[in-house]
Chain A
Amino acid sequence: SQQGEEDPQALSIQEGENATMNCSYKTSINNLQWYRQNSGRGLVHLILIRSNEREKHSGRLRVTLDTSKKSSSLLITASRAADTASYFCATVSNTGNQFYFGTGTSLTVIP
């Protein structure tokens, strides 16, 4: 399986704190993406980082990528209750035409 893995599986924090989740993957990639899934809904794209990039920001999101370690992290700063969701990383290999999703991190932000 080329599926990635997120760590931790579950994370519970207080509103206002930062949330960090990590993703490890197995193959050489073209890019890595992060998605969010609210309970009972489909996944929604958050941010994409290319294989030649090391860090990217979008609003309260910060993504890092270390291709030598085949890992990425997603930081959500100043978390809000509305950030409660599952977060998935997805990779696109540089030889493939598929998205490979990780196992997800379930984030709970306590008001």
Chain B
Amino acid sequence: NAGVTQTPKFQVLKTGQSMTLQCAQDMNHNSMYWYRQDPGMGLRLIYYSASEGTTDKGEVPNGYNVSRLNKREFSLRLESAAPSQTSVYFCASSEDPGVDTEAFFGQGTRLTVV
């Protein structure tokens, strides 16, 4: 089973460039999430989507936009990349978190903004 698939795995951007991180899951989950991971900061939620057609801001949404294209896919867009957005980005999916379910993670995208 593929689980959660993220593309690309690595990316280097120049300041001001834009890019979209892609995420797809094949587990028929309603909920999907984008996190960023920085040293010493753990995982911080950027945006999440509780169901197809809905998105909500997490803890650190500034500088990002998301699209829940369909039930399978949830993309994260950086419109004008900044060095502060250098990070490792993880997509995750789950059933409704309120029903004792676990989150499944992709392998991550390592983004460097120069």
User: A-side interface residues toward B, CB under 8 Å?
Assistant: 1-3, 9, 30-31, 33, 35, 40-45, 48, 50, 88, 90, 92, 94, 96-104
New contact pairs (11) apart from A30-B100, A43-B103, A94-B98, CB-CB < 8 Å: A9-B40, A31-B100, A42-B105, A42-B106, A43-B105, A45-B103, A96-B97, A97-B50, A98-B97, A99-B103, A101-B35
User: B-side interface residues toward A, CB under 8 Å?
Assistant: 4, 31, 33, 35, 40-45, 48, 50, 58-59, 90, 92, 94, 96-98, 100, 102-108
Asked if residues B43 and A101 are in contact (CB atoms below 8 Å), the reply is yes
Asked if residues B105 and A88 are in contact (CB atoms below 8 Å), the reply is no
Asked if residues B50 and A104 are in contact (CB atoms below 8 Å), the reply is no
Known: A3-B42, A103-B41. A97 touches B31 (CB 8 A): yes
Collect the chain A residues with CB atoms within 8 Å of residue B40's CB.
9, 103
Asked if residues B96 and A97 are in contact (CB atoms below 8 Å), the reply is yes
A32 to chain B, nearest CB (A): 11
Asked if residues B107 and A3 are in contact (CB atoms below 8 Å), the reply is no
Q: Which residue of B lies closest to A2 (CB)?
A: B59
Mind listing 13 A-B residue pairs with CB under 8 Å?
A: A3-B59, A42-B4, A42-B105, A43-B103, A45-B102, A94-B98, A97-B31, A97-B96, A98-B45, A99-B33, A99-B94, A101-B42, A102-B42
Q: Which residue of A lies closest to B30 (CB)?
A: A97
Collect the chain B residues with CB atoms within 8 Å of residue A94's CB.
98
Collect the chain B residues with CB atoms within 8 Å of residue A96's CB.
97
Known: A41-B107, A97-B50, A98-B33. A104 touches B42 (CB 8 A): yes
Tell me which of A30, A33, A88 contacts B102 (CB under 8 A). Answer: A33
